[in-house]
Amino acid sequence: MQSPVSQRTAAIVAGVLAVAVVGGAAFAQVERGDRPGRPLLRAYMQGLQQCGLSQEQQDKVKTIIEGSKTAMRSVADQLKADRANLKVALDATQPDPTAVGTAMLKLRADRHAVKDQLKKTNDAVLAVLNPDQKARFEGYLDGLRILRGRRADRAAAPRS
């Protein structure tokens, strides 16, 4: 019997290999006009396909993802609007420090809202998976983070 650490390491290695083979294609297909988040959703779904989900699990995951899309669209629209407001505040002839600071704080709150929504969706998806599928999928996600240049511990570290 393998220790939990070696099982986790094996899952990460398997995830990195799966990402290198399958996920690389998802990142290679990114088009400039593609909607933001679309390539990551595609890679996320490909990772779920690697887990061997039953039809019932696939239906549950699809329902979770579809339900999350509406919430993510509203958060993304707010982020886009607040980003535009920040640009306007910065591009003013005499930028008002209060307006710029307020716009930056709104943008930061929007980014936190996006992260919270993504975590909520991911937690709901993980609840559908059995322990073996969960280990494979988390290994796949760790592989994505490595390929994207972020270590898993850095992504979890609080920003100052």
Q: How far apart are CA 106 and CA 4, in angstroms?
A: 41
pLDDT recorded at residue 35: 52
Contact present, 21 and 146 (Cβ < 8 Å): no
Q: How much is the average pLDDT of 147-151?
A: 66
Residue indicated by tokens 């002839």: 93
pLDDT recorded at residue 116: 92
Q: Where are the beta strands (DSSP E) in 84-153?
A: none
Q: Which tokens go with 16?
A: 């990195």
pLDDT recorded at residue 4: 56
Instruction: Render pLDDT for 12-45 as a digit per residue (tens, 0 to 9).
Output: 555 544 444 444 444 444 344 445 556 777 888 8
Taking the whole predicted model, whether its pTM rises above 0.85 is answered as no
Q: Which tokens go with 146?
A: 């490595």
Instruction: Render pLDDT for 66-95 as a digit per residue (tens, 0 to 9).
Output: 888 888 888 889 999 999 999 999 998 898
Structural domains in the chain, CATH included, are 1-53+131-160 (no CATH), 54-128 (1.20.120.1490)
105 vs 38: which has the higher pLDDT: 105
